[in-house]
Amino acid sequence: MSDRTNKPFDSARRRTLFKLAALGAGLSSGLAAGIAQAADAPKTLRIGYQKYGNFVVLKARGSLDKRLAAQGVTVQWLEFPAGPQLLEGLNAGAVDIGTVGETPPIFAQAAGVDFVYIGHEPPAPHAEAIVVPKDSGVHSVAELRGKKVALNKGSNVHYLLVEALRKSNLAWSDIQPVYLAPADARAAFVQGSIDAWAIWDPYLAAAEKQANARQLTDANGIVRNVQYYLATRKIATAQPQLVHAVLEELDQVDRWARDNVPAVAAQLSPLVGLDSGILETALGRTSYGVQSIDPATLAYQQQIADTFTSLKLIPKKLDVTEARWNVA
C-alpha cells in the first residue's frame, strides 16, 4: 500500500524536477550566450601603424581614443617598421586594424592571413621611388642589370621594382635583390654595400636630404602606390561599429592634415624622429581622403597578385575578392 500511495507523488516530483532542470538549462544557455556576446566586444582595440602616416597623426590627436573610451574600449597603438611585419602581427592575433601599402596584403593573403580591406587612400605615386647615390654611374632602371637592389620584401616598393624592371625590359632575375628593412637598407645604402634602394616616404625624403640619394624613378606611370586600411575578418564582422569609428576619425584627420601640412610636419617630427622639413617634403607627395573599397580597387589588387604569382613569388593564384569586407 505504501508503494501505491507514493507513486503519484514520485511521478509529480519527477515532472517538477524535469521542468526545473529544463529551466536551468535554458537559463544557462541564455547566460552563456550573453557571456559570449559580451566577449565579442573587445575591451582593447589594437591598431598597428608605421612610423609615418595618418594613424600617427590620429594617435597624436587622441580623438579616436576619446571616442572609444566613451564606449569602454581602450585603443592600443603598436608601431611596426613596415607593412609585412604589421601583417605578421595581425596574423598572430596581436593587431585588429592596421595600414599597409598595396603589396603586403597580397603576400599576407597568400600566407593565409584572415583579413579584409576596409578602406584606402588615393594613389600617391610620387611617395615611393628607386634611388641610387648621387655619384652613382647608374642613371636609369635599365642599368640596374646585375646590381644589388635593396627593398623590404613584400612591401609596396616590391611591386614598384618588379614593374619598373619590366618596363625597362629587365626580368626579376636580372638584378640581385637584397631584402632589408628600411633602417638596415639605409645603413647599407650609406655604406655603399648596395647599388640601389627601393623605398617609400618618409624614408625616401630623408635619404634624399640626408644620404645624397638620387631618384632613378618614382612610381608615377608605373604603379599607383595605394595605402590600404585592413582589419581582421573577426573584428570587421563582429564589431563593424568599431571599424566605422576608425574610418570616420581617419577621414577627419585627413581633412585637417590636407590643409595643415606644416602643422602636421611639426607634430610628427618629434614622434618619428625626422626634421619637419623632411616631413613637409614627404607630406607634399602623399594623398588624402579615405575611400571605400570598390571593384576597380580590388581589380588592381588582383593584378598585383597575378604578377607575383607569375613570378612564383607567391605559391598559388589568389582571388582577392575573398578579402572584401561585406560592410555592415
Domains of the chain: 44-124+226-323 (3.40.190.10), 125-218 (3.40.190.10)
What pLDDT does 40 receive?
A: 56
- Those residues with Cβ within 8 angstroms of residue 71's Cβ, 6 or more apart along the chain or in another chain: none
Q: What is the pLDDT of residues 292-313, one digit of tens each?
A: 999 999 999 999 999 999 999 9
What pLDDT does 272 receive?
A: 84
Decide if 177 contacts 203 (C-beta within 8 A): no
Alpha-carbon gap, residue 223 to 244, rounded angstroms: 29
What pLDDT does 158 receive?
A: 96
What pLDDT does 318 receive?
A: 97
Mean pLDDT on 153-168: 96
Decide if 230 contacts 100 (C-beta within 8 A): yes
Q: What is the pLDDT of residues 179-219, one digit of tens each?
A: 999 999 999 999 999 999 999 999 999 999 999 999 999 99
Q: What is the pLDDT of residues 115-155, one digit of tens each?
A: 999 999 999 999 999 999 999 999 999 999 999 999 999 89
Q: Is 278 left (phi over 0), alpha (psi -120 to 50) or beta?
A: alpha
SS3 193: coil
75 vs 37: which has the higher pLDDT:
75
What pLDDT does 177 receive?
A: 98
Of the candidates 209, 217, 200, the one whose C-alpha atom is nearest the C-alpha of residue 53 is 200
Confidence of residue 41 (pLDDT cuts 50, 70, 90): low
Mean pLDDT on 75-88: 93
pTM: 0.83
Q: What is the pLDDT of residues 20-29, one digit of tens each?
A: 343 344 434 3
230 vs 61: which has the higher pLDDT:
230
